[in-house]
Amino acid sequence: MRVVLAEDLYLLREGLTRLLEAHGFTIAAAVETGPDLLDALLEHRPDVAVVDVRLPPTLTDEGLQAALAARRRIPGLPVLVLSQHVQQLYARELLADGSGGVGYLLKDRVFNADQFIDAVRRVAAGGTAMDPDVIAKLLQSNARSQPVGRLSPREREVLGLMAEGCSNSAVGARLLISDGAVAKHIANIFTKLELAPAEDANRRVLAVLAHLNGAGEG
Q: What's the predicted TM-score (pTM) here?
A: 0.74
Same domain? 114 vs 77 = yes
The confidence score (pLDDT) of residue 190 equals: 81
Total domain count, the chain = 2
207: containing domain: 136-216
pLDDT of residue 55: 93
Low pLDDT (below 70) residues in the chain: 87-88, 90-92, 95-99, 136-148, 195-206, 209-218
N-to-C CA span, the chain: 39
Q: Last residue of some domain: 79, 97, 130?
A: 130
- Let me know whether 26 and 116 are in one domain: yes
CATH number assigned to the domain comprising residue 88: 3.40.50.2300
- pLDDT score, position 132: 78
